[in-house]
Chain A
């Protein structure tokens, strides 16, 4: 096998050398290096500037915040592709056939060496076009939850509720399930569970929780954003569950806390008691 492989490799290398020798490679001098570095810097500054401007515009725009930020990753991709193109034509002046041949070889070469980096870049492109999440969404990737702050070419940055900035390689979207809480919308459904004593008046509790949900200062209610209160009976407690939409996903915890606090104050006044058993539950159930 080894003996057979050797002539194959030598054949390929000869092929590569014949193709590349046909490429009109420019002499690499200080000017060219400076030119390439300038292009990289310009591309970086431009993409930084674009996302900076668009994020500031989106913060002022209110309702359509996520619609504006949606364009950022795409614009970044365009900037970097154009920059890459300029760098390539600065080094070589290829014909179309040469570009095709070269990119094939280039791809194969880096495919082995920089596999992960390119998997991330491909992941980034998939994110841009498939949109499993957008900048501004609240997402869960693996065990990380937070607001998407930036979708870069290589990684996605999410800000967790405890203000940690987590960098997720874009490749993870191929291997891990991605959950977006709001899918590009600014409103997001919030589930609030309260556990009451089985002897307490469940009907009254549902009414109170419904009213504390609809009167919250963070709620949004319409046909598109309905709200509901549900009751479920468990052996040692009853679960009153409210489902409603928060008007801005950045206020999800304030919303939850506001509804819970006011509902419990009213429960207490109405003689509704808390469950004595600690319920084993999954908040994301």
Chain B
């Protein structure tokens, strides 16, 4: 948990203007009667912190800021009545509940304190945890204002990324475009034939529908610039996740020059057993979790070390001093896989 610190001011909220306006309207309404608590819900790296920082910048001293970094127990839950500020902003509220028997007590206590308080609570949640808790204990009923941060489409993403640089600072190189068509890209898929033991790779055409649509001849032919193709590729890999896109941008940028070939796509073929899928969905929902907390969730029945080893080996999660989180570039494939196998609903 971290206490009141200086907000990272000056960060813009491009792409989330509507959502931010919804929050400010709710804050401005607050004053009389029961406060209309706010939940900001987003998938990992969608920019919850950006929104929180902006709230702290605008409302300054009225805000008391807290961020949960690990699982909170009823005894470590802060006492909100002693706080002077009238707005309490709490980041990472998914740490209030764990998916085990008796794991909802802290959240129950928190919600009781919240609804009896006269202060306005602005809470941020991991989207997967939020959906789970809404299904299990109707969490959404406690928050009259729910703001869900959307996935970004390419033009908006371009705006967000370019706002981080001075005009003309970035040079786009078309190196890498010549050898491949923009309509489709050649990828190598590994497939397993039923009568063969080992996997074989076959070349596979991946169609770029967005580029295709733009290329459809109209009255005036639309030219697709290298810049657009690059952003198209970044957003395709990031799957509309702004955090992942920015990270990809930063890792691909070389001396303020970006070429299409510099953007690396890591291919993922995920195949997991029920235990591994379960642990992966827990890590995805909590964003960062210590191995001992995971062991408490799974109980003695599961060999958690083996599962974690397997997930690290497949480049899906990483270990930060005992805390496990999903690797940024694996977020999209992992979410897709867990949705497909009905671990996320």
Could you tell me which A residues sit within 8 Å of B by CB distance? 56, 61-63, 186-187, 208, 211-212, 214-215, 217-218, 220-222, 225, 247-248, 251, 254, 261-263, 265-266
In the bound complex, CA of A121 to CA of B106 (Å): 60
With A215-B100, A215-B103, A247-B342 already in contact, the answer to whether A254 and B136 are too (CB < 8 A) is no
By Cβ-Cβ distance, the 7 closest A-B pairs, closest first, are A62-B340, A217-B278, A247-B342, A221-B135, A211-B101, A214-B136, A215-B99
Q: Give the shortest distance, in Å, between A203 (CB) and chain B (any CB).
A: 15
Q: Give the shortest distance, in Å, between B141 (CB) and chain A (any CB).
A: 13
Please report which residues of chain B, range 253-290, place their CB below 8 angstroms from some CB of chain A when the two chains form the complex. Answer: 274-275, 277-278
Decide: A220 and B301 in contact? CB cutoff 8 A: no
Q: Determine which of B103, B277, B342 lies in contact with A63 in the assembled complex, contact meaning CB atoms within 8 Å.
A: B342
Q: Give the shortest distance, in Å, between B127 (CB) and chain A (any CB).
A: 15
Q: Give the shortest distance, in Å, between B97 (CB) and chain A (any CB).
A: 10
Q: Give the shortest distance, in Å, between A54 (CB) and chain B (any CB).
A: 14
Q: Give the shortest distance, in Å, between A67 (CB) and chain B (any CB).
A: 14
Taking CB atoms, residues of chain B closer than 8 Å to A187 are 342
Which bucket holds chain B's interface residue count? 20 to 34
Decide: B135 and A254 in contact? CB cutoff 8 A: no
Taking CB atoms, residues of chain B closer than 8 Å to A251 are 274
Decide: B342 and A248 in contact? CB cutoff 8 A: yes
With A56-B194, A63-B340 already in contact, the answer to whether A221 and B101 are too (CB < 8 A) is no
In the bound complex, CA of A217 to CA of B101 (Å): 12
Taking CB atoms, residues of chain A closer than 8 Å to B100 are 211, 215
Main secondary structure of the interface of A (DSSP, over half): helix
Taking CB atoms, residues of chain A closer than 8 Å to B278 are 217
In the bound complex, CA of A262 to CA of B101 (Å): 8
With A211-B102, A211-B104, A217-B275 already in contact, the answer to whether A247 and B343 are too (CB < 8 A) is yes
- Which residue on A lies nearest to B105, using beta carbons? A211
In the bound complex, CA of A248 to CA of B341 (Å): 8
Taking CB atoms, residues of chain A closer than 8 Å to B60 are none
Taking CB atoms, residues of chain B closer than 8 Å to A208 are 101
Q: Is B78 an interface residue (CB 8 A)?
A: no
Taking CB atoms, residues of chain B closer than 8 Å to A218 are 274
Please report which residues of chain B, range 146-201, place their CB below 8 angstroms from some CB of chain A when the two chains form the complex. Answer: 194
Taking CB atoms, residues of chain A closer than 8 Å to B342 are 62-63, 186-187, 220, 247-248
Q: Is B322 an interface residue (CB 8 A)?
A: no
Q: Would you list 14 pairs from A and B whose C-beta atoms are within 8 A, ordered by A residue? A: A63-B339, A186-B342, A211-B100, A211-B101, A211-B102, A211-B104, A214-B136, A220-B345, A221-B136, A225-B345, A247-B341, A247-B345, A248-B342, A254-B274
In the bound complex, CA of A186 to CA of B339 (Å): 13
Q: Is B299 an interface residue (CB 8 A)?
A: yes
Q: Give the shortest distance, in Å, between A57 (CB) and chain B (any CB).
A: 12
Taking CB atoms, residues of chain B closer than 8 Å to A265 are 299
Decide: A62 and B341 in contact? CB cutoff 8 A: yes
Q: Give the shortest distance, in Å, between A255 (CB) and chain B (any CB).
A: 10
Taking CB atoms, residues of chain A closer than 8 Å to B345 are 220-222, 225, 247
Taking CB atoms, residues of chain B closer than 8 Å to A254 are 274
Main secondary structure of the interface of B (DSSP, over half): loop
In the bound complex, CA of A113 to CA of B342 (Å): 50
- Which residue on A lies nearest to B299, using beta carbons? A262
Decide: A217 and B340 in contact? CB cutoff 8 A: no
In the bound complex, CA of A262 to CA of B278 (Å): 16
- Which residue on A lies nearest to B100, using beta carbons? A215
Taking CB atoms, residues of chain A closer than 8 Å to B194 are 56
Please report which residues of chain B, range 308-345, place their CB below 8 angstroms from some CB of chain A when the two chains form the complex. Answer: 339-343, 345
Q: Give the shortest distance, in Å, between B42 (CB) and chain A (any CB).
A: 20
Q: Give the shortest distance, in Å, between B43 (CB) and chain A (any CB).
A: 18
In the bound complex, CA of A186 to CA of B299 (Å): 27
Decide: B101 and A266 in contact? CB cutoff 8 A: yes
Taking CB atoms, residues of chain A closer than 8 Å to B103 are 211, 215
Taking CB atoms, residues of chain B closer than 8 Å to A61 are 340
In the bound complex, CA of A221 to CA of B102 (Å): 18
Known: A222-B345, A265-B299, A266-B102. 12 other contacts (CB 8 A): A56-B194, A62-B340, A63-B339, A187-B342, A217-B275, A218-B274, A221-B135, A222-B135, A247-B342, A247-B345, A262-B299, A266-B101
Decide: B343 and A261 in contact? CB cutoff 8 A: no
In the bound complex, CA of A212 to CA of B340 (Å): 24
In the bound complex, CA of A110 to CA of B250 (Å): 76
- Which residue on A lies nearest to B343, using beta carbons? A247
- Which residue on B lies nearest to A218, using beta carbons? B274
Decide: A261 and B301 in contact? CB cutoff 8 A: yes
Please report which residues of chain B, range 211-263, place their CB below 8 angstroms from some CB of chain A when the two chains form the complex. Answer: none
- Which residue on A lies nearest to B341, using beta carbons? A62
In the bound complex, CA of A217 to CA of B341 (Å): 12
Q: Determine which of B101, B301, B341 lies in contact with A212 in the assembled complex, contact meaning CB atoms within 8 Å.
A: B101
Decide: A215 and B341 in contact? CB cutoff 8 A: no
Taking CB atoms, residues of chain A closer than 8 Å to B341 are 62, 247-248
- Which residue on A lies nearest to B275, using beta carbons? A217
Taking CB atoms, residues of chain A closer than 8 Å to B299 are 262, 265
Can you list, as one digit per residue, whether each of B288-313 has a CB less than 8 Å from chain A (1) or not (0)? 00000000000101000000000000
Q: Determine which of B101, B275, B301, B339 lies in contact with A215 in the assembled complex, contact meaning CB atoms within 8 Å.
A: B101
In the bound complex, CA of A263 to CA of B299 (Å): 12
- Which residue on A lies nearest to B300, using beta carbons? A265
Taking CB atoms, residues of chain B closer than 8 Å to A225 are 345
Q: Give the shortest distance, in Å, between B321 (CB) and chain A (any CB).
A: 26
With A208-B101, A211-B101 already in contact, the answer to whether A217 and B274 are too (CB < 8 A) is yes
Please report which residues of chain B, range 97-134, place their CB below 8 angstroms from some CB of chain A when the two chains form the complex. Answer: 99-104, 132
- Which residue on B lies nearest to A61, using beta carbons? B340
In the bound complex, CA of A92 to CA of B103 (Å): 75
Can you list, as one digit per residue, whether each of B84-102 has a CB less than 8 Å from chain A (1) or not (0)? 0000000000000001111
Taking CB atoms, residues of chain A closer than 8 Å to B275 are 217
